[in-house]
Chains A and B, each alone.
Chain A
Amino acid sequence: MVSIDMYVALSAILFTIGALGVLLRRNAIIVFMSIEMMLNAANLLFVAFSRHYGDVDGQVLVFFVITVAAAEVAVGLALIVTIFRSKKSINIDEINLMKG
Chain B
Amino acid sequence: MTSELFLFIVLALIAIVSAIMMLTSRNAVHSALWLVLNFSTIGVLYLILGSPFIAMVQVTVYAGAIMVLFLFVIMLLGAEQLGGVGSSSRWQMVLAGFLGIVLIGAFAIVMLQGNTGLDTAVASSTEITPRILGLRLFEGYVFPFEVTGILLLTSMIGVVILNTSKKKEGDKNG
Instruction: Classify chain B: how many residues form its interface, as a range.
Output: 35 or more
B76 contacts across to A, CB distance below 8 A: 81
Number of residue pairs spanning A and B whose beta carbons lie under 8 angstroms apart: 221
Q: Are B73 and A29 in contact (CB under 8 A)?
A: yes
Given known pairs A13-B104, A29-B79, A77-B73, the reply for A50 and B88 (CB within 8 Å) is no
Q: CA A8 – CA B152 in complex, angstroms?
A: 30
A26 contacts across to B, CB distance below 8 A: 82-83, 87-88
A67 contacts across to B, CB distance below 8 A: 148, 151-152
A90 contacts across to B, CB distance below 8 A: 77, 79, 82
Instruction: Classify chain A: how many residues form its interface, as a range.
Output: 35 or more
In the complex, residue of chain A having the shortest beta-carbon distance to the beta carbon of B112: A5
Chain B CB within 10 A, most for which of A26, A30, A40, A72:
A30
B46 contacts across to A, CB distance below 8 A: 44, 47
Chain A residues 28 to 54 lying within 8 A of chain B, measured CB to CB, are 29-30, 32-34, 36-37, 40, 43-44, 47-48, 50-54
Chain A CB within 10 A, most for which of B84, B97, B104:
B104
Q: Are A74 and B69 in contact (CB under 8 A)?
A: yes
- Give B52 Cβ to nearest chain A Cβ, in Å: 11
In the complex, residue of chain B having the shortest beta-carbon distance to the beta carbon of A10: B12
Chain A residues 78 to 98 lying within 8 A of chain B, measured CB to CB, are 78-82, 84-85, 89-91, 93
Q: Which 9 A-B pairs have the closest CB atoms?
A: A54-B124, A26-B83, A23-B96, A71-B155, A12-B107, A78-B162, A78-B159, A56-B136, A17-B19
Additional 8 contacts, C-beta under 8 A, given A59-B128, A89-B82, A91-B82: A2-B8, A2-B48, A25-B83, A47-B51, A54-B123, A59-B54, A71-B155, A81-B73
Q: Could you write out 26 A-B pairs with CB less than 8 Å apart?
A: A5-B118, A8-B118, A10-B16, A14-B15, A16-B107, A19-B100, A21-B22, A23-B92, A29-B74, A32-B70, A34-B22, A37-B22, A40-B39, A43-B54, A47-B46, A50-B128, A51-B49, A54-B126, A59-B133, A60-B133, A63-B137, A71-B151, A71-B154, A74-B159, A78-B158, A81-B174
